[in-house]
C-alpha cells in the first residue's frame, strides 16, 4: 500500500471522535482519487477493519449483484463460509451478529454505488444503525464515496440521518506542503520547477501522484501518463464523468468547456450555453462544486463587507483543465502514438497554461498565502479573486487574489510564474490595476507579488511591493 503522507488534521478529527465513548457515524466525501478510502484504512490501523466496496453502477448491475458482492466481502472480512442475502436488513443484521466490543471500523466504500439500485438500502441502513449504535460503543461506521452529489442529497441533507452523523470530512487534494512531502517520500529528485510542472497537471490528487516514477523527470512522467497510446490518464476524464453524472454528463462537460478559458459569472455561463433563465444552471454549478471540479469565488462590497449576489466560477481541477487543453482534441493522434515523443515545453501556450494552473494551486492553499503575509485568518473580511465590473463611473479590473482585512487594508496579490527574470514591467502591470481599482476612502492598497524565479534588482530598488514572495519556498 505504500507509505502514508499528510492528512494529519483529518486523522486527528477521527481519533478525537474515537475517544467519545460511543458509536460514531462518519461521512467522508471528495473528488475521485483524492484518498478517501486510504484515509479510512489509515484510521483503521490497529483496529478491527471490515471493508465493503460497491460495484460500479453499470446498466447491467442489479441490486442483488450489489448484495452478492457485499456478502462475499463480509465472508472474506470475517472468515465466514459463503453467504447470500436477499434483503439489506439480513445483511446488516449479519454484521452486528459478528461484531465484538473492540475498536472496530466498518467502511462502506462507494456507498452511492452500493445503494444506487435499491431504494430500501438507506432506510434499512438507518434502521440498523438506530438499533445497534448503543450496543457497540467502540464502533465507527464510515460512509465513503466519490459521488458527492448523491451523498449530499441522500445522507448529509436527509432528514433520515439528521442528528446521527458525528463527523463529515470533505477531503481536499494534498496541500503544497503535503505534495512536497510525498515527492520526498517516493525519492523524487527533480527541481522545484520540475515539481511545479508535475503539480500543474496532476494537482494534489494522491492517486495521480502515486503514478510518478521517481527515476523520471517531469516531462518523462507526463508523457508516460498523458501522451502515450495506453496512458493511464488518457481516458480518465471520461471515466470520471461517467461515474459521477451517468447520462447527464454531456451538459456538465459543456459547462467545463465554457470555463476552460477563465472565470465567468453565472450569467456569462448561461449565455455561452444558450440556456434560459431559471434555477437549473445554479443546480448544475452546485453539483460541479460539490464534485470538486469548480470553485465558486464570492464577490463582496468593500465598504459594507456584504456578500454580493454575483460570484465568479473557476474550473479549479487541474487535471481536467489540462485534459481539455491538450488531450481531448488530440486523443486519436495520441492513441496512434503520434504524441509519445512530444516535447512538453513546446505544447501550444504551455507557459501561459502552467502559470494559470499554478495560480489555481496557490488559491487552493490560502492558509499558506495568509501565513506568508502574516495575516491572521480571523482578521480577514474577504479573500478571493476579485472582478470589478466596468460601469459608466468605473473601469473594469480583475485581481488575481484580493484580501480585505478588518484594518481596511486591501492586499492586492499578483501571481507570476515564469522562469524568465521579472523586470520593472511587473510594477507597471500592477500599478495599472491599482489605478483602475475603485478604492473606498480610508482604505489602503497593499501590493504583493507571489512569483517563481528571479526578480531584477530594479523591482526591489523601487520598493513598490509590500512583499515579494518566492513560491519556491512553499515546496521547501
Q: What is the full DSSP assignment across 273-322?
A: HTPPSSSHHHHHHHHHHHTTSEEEEEEE-TTT-PEEEEEEEEE--HHHHH
- With cut-offs at 50, 70 and 90, classify the pLDDT of residue 21: confident
Confidence category of residue 189, pLDDT binned at 50, 70, 90:
very high
pTM higher than the cut 0.75: yes
Question: By C-alpha distance, which of 191, 146, 122, 159 is closest to 35?
Answer: 146
d(CA 413, CA 445): 10
Q: Based on the domain organization, do 135 and 83 belong to the same domain?
A: yes
Query: Taking the CB of residue 21, how many other CB atoms lie within 10 A of it?
Result: 7
| 366 pLDDT more than 90 | yes
The CATH number given to whatever domain includes residue 13 is 3.40.50.300
Same domain, 240 and 351: yes
Q: What total number of domains does the chain contain?
A: 3
Q: Are residues 71 and 84 in the same domain?
A: yes
Q: Tell me which of 295 and 2 has the higher pLDDT.
A: 295
Domain boundary among 146, 171, 196: 171
Q: Are 200 and 345 in contact (CB under 8 A)?
A: no
Q: In this structure, is residue 411 part of a structural domain?
A: yes
CA nearest neighbour of 339 among 217, 224, 194, 202: 224
Instruction: Look at residue 1 and tell me whether its pLDDT is greater than 60.
Output: no
Q: What is the mean pLDDT of residues 319-331?
A: 95
Same domain, yes or no: 377 and 322: no
Question: Does residue 3 lie in a domain region?
Answer: no
Mean pLDDT check: name the lowest of 1-10, 67-76, 104-113, 132-141: 1-10
Average pLDDT, the chain: 93
Query: In terms of domains, do 70 and 147 share one?
Result: yes
Which is more confidently placed, 19 or 371? 371
pLDDT given at position 179: 96
Q: Are residues 145 and 227 in the same domain?
A: no
Report H helices in 79-151: 88-97, 111-115, 121-132, 148-151
8 A C-beta contact, residue 34 and residue 171 = yes
> Looking at residue 320, what is its pLDDT?
96
Segment among 55-64, 238-247, 347-356 with least mean pLDDT: 238-247
DSSP letter for 326, please: I
Neighbours of 51 (CB within 10 A): 19
Residues 335 and 234 sit within 8 Å (Cβ to Cβ): yes
Query: Which residue, of 337, 364, 391, is where some domain finishes?
Result: 364
Residue 461 to residues 154, 281, 385, 448, 451, Cα–Cα distance (Å): 59, 49, 28, 15, 17
421 and 352 both lie in a single domain: no
**Within a domain: residue 111?**
yes
Question: C-alpha cell of 175?
Answer: 496541500
Tell me, yes or no, whether 18 and 130 share the same domain: yes
Is pLDDT of 406 > 90? yes
**Together in a domain, 166 and 187:** no
Residue 87 in this model has a pLDDT that exceeds 60: yes
- Of the chain, the percentage scoring pLDDT greater than 70 comes to 99
Q: How many CB atoms lie within 10 A of CB 449?
A: 22
Residue 192 grid coordinates: 522545484
- Percent of the chain past pLDDT 90, that is, above it, reads 84
Write down which residue in 346, 364, 382 finishes a domain. Answer: 364
Q: Tell whether 277 is covered by a domain.
A: yes
Is residue 172 within 8 Å of 364, Cβ to Cβ?
Answer: yes
Residue whose grid cell is 477531503: 171
Q: Is residue 2 part of a domain?
A: no
Grid cell digits, residue 151: 451523498
**Is 286 within a domain?**
yes
Overall size of the chain counted in residues: 476
- Assign 58 a pLDDT band (cuts: 50, 70, 90): confident
* pLDDT for 364 beyond 60: yes
pLDDT of residue 418: 87
CATH number for 324: 1.10.10.10
In 10 A of CB 158, how many CB atoms? 16
Same domain, 149 and 188: no
Return the CATH number at 396.
3.40.1350.10
- Tell me, what's the pLDDT at 112? 92
| Residues 113, 212: Cα–Cα separation, whole Å | 29
Tell me which of 363 and 250 has the higher pLDDT: 363
pLDDT in tens, 88-111: 999 999 999 999 989 999 999 999
Are residues 142 and 179 located together in one domain of the fold?
Answer: no
Per-residue model confidence (pLDDT) at position 176? 95
Whether 350 is covered by a domain: the verdict is yes
Q: Same structural domain for residues 193 and 269?
A: yes
pLDDT at 2: 59
Residue 439 forms part of a structural domain: yes
Give the per-residue pLDDT at 388: 93
Task: Supply the range of the domain harboring residue 448.
Answer: 366-475
- Asked if pLDDT for residue 145 goes beyond 60, the answer is yes
Amino acid at each position: 500500500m505504500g507509505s502514508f503522507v499528510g492528512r494529519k488534521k483529518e486523522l486527528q478529527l477521527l481519533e478525537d471522535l474515537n475517544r467519545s465513548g460511543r458509536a460514531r457515524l462518519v461521512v467522508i466525501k471528495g473528488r475521485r482519487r483524492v484518498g478517501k478510502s486510504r484515509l479510512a484504512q489509515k484510521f483503521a490501523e490497529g483496529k478491527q477493519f471490515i471493508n465493503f466496496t460497491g460495484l460500479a453502477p453499470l446498466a447491467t448491475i442489479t441490486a442483488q449483484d450489489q448484495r452478492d458482492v457485499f456478502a462475499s466481502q463480509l465472508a472474506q472480512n470475517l472468515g465466514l463460509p459463503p453467504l447470500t442475502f436477499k434483503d439489506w436488513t439480513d445483511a446488516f443484521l449479519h454484521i452486528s451478529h459478528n461484531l465484538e466490543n473492540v475498536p472496530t471500523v466498518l467502511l462502506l466504500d462507494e456507498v452511492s454505488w452500493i445503494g444506487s439500485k435499491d431504494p430500501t438500502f438507506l432506510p434499512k441502513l438507518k434502521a440498523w444503525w438506530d438499533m445497534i449504535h448503543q450496543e457497540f460503543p467502540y464502533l465507527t461506521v464510515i460512509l465513503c464515496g466519490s459521488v458527492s452529489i448523491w451523498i449530499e442529497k441522500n445522507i448529509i441533507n436527509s432528514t433520515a440521518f439528521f442528528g446521527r452523523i458525528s463527523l463529515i470530512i470533505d477531503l481536499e487534494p494534498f496541500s503544497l506542503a503535503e505534495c512536497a512531502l510525498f515527492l520526498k517520500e517516493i525519492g523524487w529528485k527533480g527541481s522545484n520547477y520540475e515539481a511545479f510542472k508535475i503539480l500543474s497537471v496532476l494537482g494534489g490528487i494522491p492517486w495521480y501522484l502515486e503514478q510518478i516514477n521517481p527515476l523520471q523527470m517531469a516531462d518523462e512522467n507526463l508523457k508516460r501518463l498523458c501522451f502515450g497510446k495506453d496512458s493511464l490518464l488518457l481516458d480518465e476524464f471520461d471515466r470520471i464523468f461517467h461515474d459521477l453524472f451517468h447520462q447527464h454528463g454531456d451538459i456538465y462537460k459543456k459547462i467545463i468547456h465554457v470555463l476552460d478559458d477563465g472565470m465567468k459569472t453565472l450569467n456569462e455561463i448561461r449565455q455561452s450555453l444558450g440556456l434560459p433563465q431559471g434555477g437549473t444552471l445554479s443546480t448544475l454549478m452546485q453539483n460541479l462544486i460539490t464534485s470538486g471540479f469548480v470553485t465558486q469565488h464570492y464577490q463582496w462590497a468593500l465598504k459594507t463587507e456584504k456578500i454580493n449576489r454575483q460570484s465568479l466560477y473557476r474550473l479549479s481541477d487541474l487535471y481536467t483543465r489540462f485534459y481539455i487543453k491538450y488531450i481531448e482534441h488530440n486523443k486519436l493522434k495520441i492513441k496512434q502514438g503520434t504524441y509519445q515523443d512530444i516535447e512538453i515545453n513546446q505544447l501550444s501556450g504551455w507557459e501561459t497554461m502552467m502559470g494559470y494552473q499554478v495560480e489555481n494551486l496557490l488559491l487552493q492553499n490560502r492558509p499558506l498565502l495568509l501565513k506568508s503575509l502574516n495575516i491572521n485568518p480571523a482578521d480577514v473580511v474577504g479573500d478571493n479573486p476579485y472582478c470589478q465590473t466596468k460601469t459608466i463611473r468605473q473601469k473594469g479590473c480583475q485581481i488575481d487574489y484580493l484580501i480585505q482585512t478588518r484594518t481596511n487594508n486591501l492586499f492586492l496579490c499578483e501571481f507570476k510564474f515564469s522562469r524568465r527574470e521579472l523586470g520593472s514591467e511587473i510594477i507597471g502591470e500592477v500599478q495599472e490595476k491599482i489605478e483602475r481599482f475603485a478604492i473606498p476612502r480610508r482604505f489602503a492598497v497593499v501590493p504583493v507579488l507571489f512569483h517563481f524565479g528571479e526578480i531584477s534588482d530594479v523591482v526591489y530598488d523601487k520598493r513598490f511591493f509590500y512583499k515579494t514572495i518566492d513560491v519556491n519556498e512553499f515546496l521547501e
